[in-house]
Amino acid sequence: MRLAALCLALAPAAPVAAGEFHTLEGHGGPVMDIAVSPNDGRIATASFDNALGLWTDRSPRWLDGHAAAVNTVTFTDDGVISGGDDFDVLVWTAGTPARRDGHEGKVMDIAVAPDGSIAASASWDGSVGLWPLPDGPARFLTGHDAAVNAVAFSADGSRLFSAGADGTIRVWDVATGTERRQLVRHGFGINRIVLDEDAGWLAYGAVDGVTRVTDVESGAAIVDLSLDRRPILALAADPQGTQLAIGDGEGFITVVDTTDWSIRRDFRAAERGPIWALAFSPDGTNILAGGLDPKVYSWPIATMDTYQAMASGDESFLRAPETMENGERQFVRKCSICHSLTPGSARRAGPTLYGLFGRPAGSVGDYAYSEALIHTDIVWDDTTIDALFDLGPDHYIPGSKMPMQRITGSDDRSDLIAYLRRATAPEERRE
């Protein structure tokens, strides 16, 4: 019954046909992760706007439950599972979330065992979480000396591979929770891993720009695919096991043929900004990608260099600093990725700032505030905005969704406030 309900709720139409260029539009912030269902080709997206999108054809169903940016999403037998900057793992069934807490840092990656019985999460608290599905007590594996960034299960689900900022890839026994060994010791932090146990290899991408493929049993290097671009932020393999895609901080997507490890495509997918998310279509003909642009782009691999790149170069937070006055520059750097200046919050990570001055905190009708904002008696004016950035949101409004940040210079805060007074004023009150 649960699976039937999910299909009715989330899959009313056929997926977009592979082999054509298209975009998925609707998120209000950068796209951090993309998952494609191996069963029916539906797409799940995780975004900085705190939301998940479940896409059938090009129509999204929005899942709102995280209190901060969502970093990772993957499909389960009954729905999806996600993790975010709020430290939470959410298990979604028919669009309803069950919160699984226990991590004390951002959740950066989630993998589901092949039999669907358990999920693993990688967290910046230095641990790996093991979560029975659909429910059950969690276990936490510790041993990494720094943040854990990526996890992957073996084909039979008995082993788990984890990679972290300590530069190691570790192999765990899932049943006992014990560490079997360190497969890789790299000199820099490892951001992503992809495992193809049947073919005998594991690929990893690191902050120093290294992309390397190793033997899954011995850890011996098979091939080095590094192209002197850093950092490596995304890796994905196609369902057929014949292609590996690499996304880096300089906006390139490299597609590799895993039969001979030759480079098939090396495409500048974004003129400015990173590639954070990659996934293949079920038939392996298209590569889907996410970055600073709130759209998901899907390119036919065979002809991807004939299509447009991501439009991230036009985003306000990437504008050249010398083209702006100081107050606008402070807004662009600190605020614009989360907040709009026009009416309506859309799907941004924060509410619109339109009409900000004189407005009680937590009062915009189309935004889901944290309890901390709803119950405060703050009214936004020169004094309260100055205090917000002087002390930082975590101290001024403990429990707020706002990211931890400060503007330490009093002149910078004054310039920001002056800019906001002009830019957020309703049209009829603007000078």
> What is 220-289 written as a DSSP string?
-EEEE---S---EEEEEE-TTSSEEEEEETTSEEEEEETTTTEEEEEEE-BSSS-EEEEEE-TTSSEEEE
Q: Is 110 exposed, middle or buried (0-12, 13-18, 19+ CB in 10 A)?
A: buried
pLDDT, tens digit (0-9, with 9 covering 90-100), for 280-315: 999 999 999 999 889 999 999 999 999 989 975 445
315 Cβ partners below 8 Å, 6+ apart? Answer: 273, 292, 293
Tokens of 34: 């993309």
Query: Which DSSP helix (H) or strand (E) runs through 133?
Result: none
> What is 194-215 written as a DSSP string?
EEETTTTEEEEEETTS-EEEEE
pLDDT, tens digit (0-9, with 9 covering 90-100), for 371-413: 888 889 999 999 999 999 999 888 898 877 777 778 999 999 9
> What is 88-121 written as a DSSP string?
-EEEEETTEEEEE---SS-EEEEEE-TTSSEEEE
Say how far apart CA 239 and CA 39 lie, in whole Å: 11
In this predicted structure, what is the pLDDT of residue 4? Answer: 34
pTM of this structure: 0.84
In this predicted structure, what is the pLDDT of residue 366? Answer: 85
Domains of the chain as residue ranges with CATH: 2-313 (2.130.10.10), 316-429 (1.10.760.10)
Tokens of 239: 């369902």
Q: Peptide bond preceding 30: is omega within 30 degrees of 0, i.e. cis?
A: no
In this predicted structure, what is the pLDDT of residue 358? Answer: 94
Mean model confidence pLDDT for the chain: 90
Greatest alpha-carbon span in the chain:
69
Residue type, 301: I
Query: Which DSSP helix (H) or strand (E) runs through 389?
Result: helix 382-391
In this predicted structure, what is the pLDDT of residue 11? Answer: 41
Cross-strand pairs, 168: 185
In this predicted structure, what is the pLDDT of residue 17? Answer: 52
Exposed e or buried b for every residue in 75-96, given b needs 16+ CB within 10 A?
A: bbebbbbbbbbbbbbbbbbbbe
Cross-strand pairs, 268: 252
- Considering only CA atoms, give the Rg of the chain: 22
In this predicted structure, what is the pLDDT of residue 401? Answer: 76
Say how far apart CA 375 and CA 101 lie, in whole Å: 24
Q: What percent of the chain has pLDDT over 70?
A: 93
**Residue 118's CB: how many other CB atoms inside 10 A?**
19
In this predicted structure, what is the pLDDT of residue 8? Answer: 32
Say how far apart CA 97 and CA 5 lie, in whole Å: 15
Q: Determine contact, residues 84/100, Cβ cutoff 8 Å.
A: no
**Residue 404's CB: how many other CB atoms inside 10 A?**
9
Which residue stretches of the chain have pLDDT < 50? 1-16, 313-314, 430-431
